[in-house]
Amino acid sequence: MSMSIHRTVSAVDTRVDTSGSGVWHRLHSERENICETLLKDCHLTGVSLPSTEGETRAETWHRALLEARLRKVDDALDRLMSGSYGNCTQCGRWIQDNKLDFDPAIAFCLSCWERLQTQH
């Protein structure tokens, strides 16, 4: 079974290589680190993934931040695989390269991000 998983990962690597393997590797590495941290935190504290009464507010907050970031990274990987990576998910315009370099999981151009901030 591990052989087929390895082949799947290799196929993904090869496909993305032509359009941004550095970005894929950066996002995938961050994803692995987040998952490792979430699993380690669960094992260390004895907390299952749904929050429990024994979990402190700081632990709950930290886990929520990690889970939110994981969703953003997964969404960015999905966009990369579908060919829409680098385009704003709201308006479709290109997101500036320096913004993507700073945070490869960014989903919005500056205009849409500012508009979303004023709505909340």
Per-residue confidence of the chain (120 residues) as pLDDT tens digits? 333 333 333 333 333 333 567 999 999 999 999 999 999 877 665 555 555 555 688 888 999 999 999 999 999 999 999 999 999 999 999 999 999 999 999 999 999 999 999 987
DSSP state of 105: T
Residue 50's pLDDT is what? 52
Q: 94 pairs with which residues across the strands? A: 87
CB atoms within 10 A of CB 47: 17
Amino acid 101: pLDDT = 94
> Whole-prediction pTM value?
0.72
At 91 the pLDDT is 96
